[in-house]
Amino acid sequence: MDNGVGPRPAGVIHLIATSLYARYGDPATVSALLHVSSTDVAHLSRTPLLVPAASALWVAGGLFSPYVLAFVVVLTALERRIGSWRAAAVFLTGHVVATLATEIPVALSVLTGRLPGTSLHRLDYGISFGLMACVGALDGLLGPVPRAVVPAWVSVLLAHDLPAFEDPLTNWGHPLALLAGVGGRPLVRRVVPRVPRP
């Protein structure tokens, strides 16, 4: 009987497939797909349900991004502890919360004239927000030593990528997603099965 606990390779296979297509597919088609999947204000206002899901199917930086390895390790560990559906819920919650937290200020800044109208069409996609939320949730389920190592590793990962992000709002999205995962720890802990002692 499938209780939803255990790693599911479908998400990983999907990311490998889209990453390979992004690298070797027709450049014009790839560019069009990435723009359609972008979680910018313009796309979110038109298709608010479709765009967040579509943007999470791509990896910024391609197959050799450190986020791919982190995704496999973190999601597998989280699924083993809380189940596939709950792990997916953590991922999507962090992805959506961080996306809205970074895009709503952009929309308001354009309305007030602080940003140009072109800011409504920024190219923004990838798994990193959802991954950060899963890291935040998983860290609360680990032992003392891993619990100290994981934040240090995440800090190094984010510091490594900061120069690549030209938009400061994207930079803020990652710690916000991490906090969303940390905030969900009480709910996550409730579903961890207790192993009876002999």
Cα–Cα distance, 128 to 99 (Å, whole number) = 11
Sign of CA dihedral 79, 174, 61, 35: positive
Q: How far apart are the first and last CA of the chain?
A: 24
Contact 39, 55 (CB under 8 A): yes
184 near 139, Cβ under 8 Å?
no
> Helix 27-37 crosses helix 10-24 at what angle (to 10 degrees)?
130
Give the pLDDT of residue 5: 42
CA distance 100 to 103: 5
Give the per-residue pLDDT at 29: 93
Residue pair 134/87 in contact (Cβ under 8 Å)? The answer is yes
Domains of the chain: 10-190 (1.20.1540)
Residues sharing a CB contact under 8 Å with residue 149, sequence separation 6 or more, in sequence order: none
- How many residues appear in the chain? 198
Q: How far apart are CA 155 and CA 53, in angstroms?
A: 26
Q: CA 8, 159, 77: angle at the middle one, nearest 5?
A: 20
Sign of CA dihedral 51, 18, 79, 171: negative
Q: Note if the pTM is more than 0.85.
A: no
Residue 4: the pLDDT is 45
Q: What is the pLDDT of residue 96?
A: 93
Q: What is the full per-residue pLDDT of the chain (198 aa) written as tens digits?
A: 344 444 454 567 778 888 888 888 899 999 999 989 999 999 999 998 889 889 988 888 777 777 888 888 888 888 888 888 888 899 999 999 999 998 998 899 889 988 888 888 888 888 989 999 999 999 888 877 777 777 777 777 676 665 555 555 666 788 889 889 888 877 777 665 554 445
Nearest partner of 133 among 180, 175, 173, judged by Cα = 180
